[in-house]
């Protein structure tokens, strides 16, 4: 079945460091790919998405490129802030009305 | 505009007891979803309502779980009787359009079964 694999956390970085959170997927067909973020005490929020190969999603300085050849959708940010501390979830959808999530990666950014 | 609200935020019950979780979607959102995250694991789909009808309940773990959405507004998820493995965070989400991904999530209801 469809699945998403994320790197284990927590990821601990200093402010202004470069961030990469790896995400790979297995899916039948051509999924849409997403990154959701959960800040402390809040619900999940859509951070960015890409719906076809080579698309790049971006938001709030975060980027991820849909790589069909490597079945990956890695999340990157050039300079993280303390306020980026959260749990990040990679997810896919094959259009059947539901999302398949990864296990989540906790990011901790220190000043 | 109010977001998706869930109640209670945290519930602690004994094994064998009953718990009912409630979700109020964003007004006008016909699509309502329930998901669950068991400790440290991935968030898993439970079911999907379109208005008051169950569109897909393939993720419901067993018949101890009952979801309803009377009148196509708020939804409840009842667990009866609760087991230890039911502990986790139950998320509700809603969307206006049926395409998955454009979901608005609530903060989740944390269930602890002792």
Per-residue pLDDT of chain B (114 residues; tens, 9 = 90+): 679 999 999 999 999 999 999 999 999 899 999 999 998 788 999 999 999 999 999 999 999 999 999 888 999 999 999 999 999 999 999 988 766 557 899 999 999 999
Chain A residues bordering chain B (beta-carbon distance below 8 Å): 4, 32, 34, 36, 41-46, 49, 89, 91, 93, 95-104
Chain B residues bordering chain A (beta-carbon distance below 8 Å): 3-4, 31, 33, 35, 37, 40-45, 48, 55-56, 59, 91, 93, 98-108
- B65: its two tokens: 């779980």
Please compute Rg for chain A using Cα positions: 13
Burial of A17 (0-12, 13-18, 19+ CB in 10 A): middle
pLDDT score for A54? 94
Q: Is residue B31 a contact partner of residue B49, using CB atoms and an 8 Å limit?
A: yes
Instruction: Give CA–CA dist B33/B49, Å, rounded.
Output: 6
Instruction: Give CA–CA dist A104/B9, Å, rounded.
Output: 20
Instruction: Give CA–CA dist A107/B84, Å, rounded.
Output: 29
Mind telling me how many Å the CA of A106 is from chain B's nearest CA? Answer: 11
Closest by Cβ to B98, choosing from A32, A34, A97: A97
């Amino acid at each position: 079945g469809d699945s998403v694999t994320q790197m284990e956390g927590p990821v601990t970085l200093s402010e202004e460091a470069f961030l990469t959170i790896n995400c790979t997927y297995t899916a039948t067909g051509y999924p849409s790919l997403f990154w959701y973020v959960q800040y402390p005490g809040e619900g999940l929020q859509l951070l960015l998405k890409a719906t076809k190969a080579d698309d790049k999603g971006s938001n709030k300085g975060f980027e991820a490129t849909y790589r069909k050849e490597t079945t990956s959708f890695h999340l990157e940010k050039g300079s993280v802030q303390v306020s980026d501390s959260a749990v990040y979830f990679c997810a896919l959808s094959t259009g059947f009305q539901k999302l398949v999530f990864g296990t989540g990666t906790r990011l901790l950014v220190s000043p | 505009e109010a977001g998706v609200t869930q109640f209670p935020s945290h519930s602690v019950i004994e094994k064998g007891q009953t718990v009912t979780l409630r979700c109020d979607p964003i007004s006008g959102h016909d699509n309502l979803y329930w998901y669950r995250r068991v400790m440290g694991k991935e968030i898993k789909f439970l079911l999907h309502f379109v208005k008051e009808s169950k569109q897909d309940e393939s993720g419901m773990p067993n018949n101890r779980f009952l979801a309803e959405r009377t009148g196509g507004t708020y939804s409840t998820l009842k667990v009866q009787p609760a087991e230890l493995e039911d502990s986790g965070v139950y998320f509700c989400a809603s969307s206006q359009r049926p395409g998955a991904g454009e979901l608005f999530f609530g903060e989740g209801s944390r269930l602890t079964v002792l």
